[in-house]
Structure 1
């Protein structure tokens, strides 16, 4: 099974893996892949910690046949517990018309696996997701991913203005306080509001979820202001799925992604493992969230 994990994670197709195992080990792949399916099922239902300091939700698009072949989003949830340990908590394949009902189903699964509280959740502005997070965990602070917000702003603006807009938004998000960020954004709005009202409206509608991270010192800001921590994992997902063309169904796609998660690369940045400078971060969280941290 370990050999299967390694070969899938390197991006080999099932046919290539079958040929390799037959030539090198004189074995069939069917028994090993059946074991992988069982392991995946157990992994997706395993108990989780009661409290997570941070929940990160991101997605990657994969070609999956659902009647016709289509790019379907696969959403990945990564948790950082109170000891600073990072772990992929779960995955789900999205369907058309994402909304609160579908998010509630997935987030409730995480709660039913033991997650009773999350201090801060960082996510893209996916329709219905921030509201669903607070329906499941009412005390959770929801932070929209700043990097995704900047990318959205660039999509709404002309290319010749990208550098100036990105620079000025960076000044907003590096402000020392929320009040300072508001003042800088007012200046940004004065310069760009008439030309690009959609950029302004996106932030005004979500401002309470844009500036959550500004109440914290640098060690926590680096952890919660963006979902980019998952990018190294997404890169490996793309490598493992690129050569396959498309997957026959959702389960086949999830199986390959699970094998990538199980096969971290030594001496490389991986989403699992210890969070750097965590002692300083957890002390700052404890001073803000009190017994939600200290009584876990």
Structure 2
């Protein structure tokens, strides 16, 4: 907390600016504080006149609630327990043992479990699904593990992360378990799902929510289509693909696909086959007004969430176990969701469109 005293006095230690200022540094004194998770000792800076008021733990108080929040905040940014101990001591002048820090951060595990098992709403208008890969130590080896994430749009137009599930390589069979968990927690109906084109994903969704409209991310499809196109032709190839998904109707999109096949089918038949095979799921968004199309034709919304989670966990090259990974992702999601307090853009119009299209399913 020395920097707080510096800010209060207005001059550096030994600086001539402090001469005849009427106040000066006067060392530190130890103070025991009580947190929800045990007793700790901190070194509190003091001034000659006794006027300095520390903001972390105010005078005549022994409760360190702000310290707990600080520890959790540092942990959420990806710092290890030992890093937090060093940060607290060097920056804040707080002596907090690694065991005390671990006790505080371990409480996050229980909070994450309660969050993961909370009851959900019975219906979501849209659910975006995607996975994000992290390196985790498992049985002595560092392996890739996928955090499965679902973001739901409720009838108030608010986005919420419905849960996170940790598994190995992303697979349709694991997603079946995720969707089954959503149902067990109270979700009876999903109007539209938005996913990547993982093989078997649509079948997994239909097995649990048979009435859901399934939309495959068009952006993922374009990336996959361009994967084997020679570099000098990618720009033209991608431009021609845009004519398909920018078409005004599904019928005109089909005509654009025919034209695309005539031009590129001989050289890149794989790309054409993939569009033909997934056509119904790739073009489901054409059945909706433009305002809804914009939010369901791609998984950009959940990919943006993944990017923000990456920022919170960037200090972690790998996690020691699944529990540490879950804590970090839970804390990141908690911070991100603090900004998800308002309905999505143009919600009034969009919700009325949903009511019109799904009048027999939406209960207002």
**Structure-1-length-normalised TM-score:** 0.92
* Residue 159 (structure 1) aligns with: 231
Residues in 2 aligned to 1:3 and 1:41: alpha-carbon distance in whole angstroms: 21
* Residue 291 (structure 1) aligns with: 360
CA displacement 1:46-65 (0-9 Å, x = unmatched): 01111100000112111112
Instruction: Give the 3 Å change call, closer, same or farther, for CA 273–16 of structure 1 in structure 2.
Output: farther
The answer to whether the 8 Å contact 1:117/1:140 transfers is yes
Residues in 2 aligned to 1:14 and 1:151: alpha-carbon distance in whole angstroms: 40
Give 1:230-249 correspondences, 5 Å limit: 230-249=302-321
CA displacement 1:29-58 (0-9 Å, x = unmatched): 122112100000001000111110000011
Instruction: Give the 3 Å change call, closer, same or farther, for CA 2–171 of structure 1 in structure 2.
Output: farther
What's the C-alpha RMSD, in Å, of the aligned pairs?
1.9
Instruction: Give the 3 Å change call, closer, same or farther, for CA 8–235 of structure 1 in structure 2.
Output: farther
**Structure-2-length-normalised TM-score:** 0.75
User: Unpaired segments of 5 or more residues in structure 2?
Assistant: 1-67
Q: Which moved more, 1:249-258 or 1:11-20?
A: 11-20
* Residue 111 (structure 1) aligns with: 183
Residues in 2 aligned to 1:201 and 1:4: alpha-carbon distance in whole angstroms: 53
Match of 1:207 among 279, 292, 297: 279
Match of 1:229 among 288, 293, 301: 301
**Bigger relative contact order (CA 8 A; separation at least 6):** 1
Residues in 2 aligned to 1:107 and 1:37: alpha-carbon distance in whole angstroms: 23
Q: For the pair shown, which has the larger CA radius of gyration, 1 or 2?
A: 2
Question: How many residues in Structure 1 have an aligned counterpart in Structure 2?
Answer: 291
CA displacement 1:58-95 (0-9 Å, x = unmatched): 12111112232122222210000111110000111232
Instruction: Give the 3 Å change call, closer, same or farther, for CA 282–183 of structure 1 in structure 2.
Output: same
Cα distance, 1:22 vs. partner? Answer: 4.8
Structure with bigger helix share is: 1
Q: Which moved more, 1:14-23 or 1:87-96?
A: 14-23
Residues in 1 aligned to 2:360 and 2:165: alpha-carbon distance in whole angstroms: 32
Residues in 2 aligned to 1:291 and 1:97: alpha-carbon distance in whole angstroms: 34
* Residue 93 (structure 1) aligns with: 166
